[in-house]
């Protein structure tokens, strides 16, 4: 194997590693964004505080006064 083939293989391996890392971090950030976005917003009727909880919940207690509130609908 001559030097030009070795350089070509090293460059291709570097590009493959770079694209692999790019895809990995893109998917990791996408999962984190989806978890952050999948929240329901609540407004406490007793103390007026806004808070969030996982999307699957239809009602959640207020973290400040523990009053049970239903989720906001837009």
Segment holding 31, helix H or strand E: helix 3-37
Instruction: Give the pLDDT confidence of 1-51 residue by residue, as tens digits.
Output: 799 999 999 999 999 999 999 999 999 999 888 877 777 889 898 898 988
**Distance of alpha carbon 19 from alpha carbon 13, whole angstroms:** 10
Cβ neighbours around 62 below 10 Å, total: 19
Domain residue ranges of the chain, discontinuous segments joined by +: 1-37, 39-74
pLDDT digits (tens, 9 = 90+) for 60-70: 899 889 899 88
- Residue 52, pLDDT above cutoff 80: yes
Residue 8 CB burial class (10 angstroms; 0-12, 13-18, ≥19) = exposed
Q: Are 69 and 45 in contact (CB under 8 A)?
A: yes
What pLDDT score does 70 carry?
87
Structure tokens at 67: 């009053």
Entry pTM: 0.52
């Amino acid at each position: 194997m001559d030097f030009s083939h070795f350089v070509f293989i090293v460059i291709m391996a570097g590009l493959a590693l770079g694209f692999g890392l790019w895809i990995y971090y893109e998917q990791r950030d996408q999962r984190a964004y989806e978890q952050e976005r999948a929240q329901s917003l609540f407004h406490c009727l007793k103390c007026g505080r806004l808070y969030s909880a996982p999307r699957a919940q239809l009602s959640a207690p207020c973290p400040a006064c523990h009053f049970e509130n239903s989720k906001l609908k837009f």
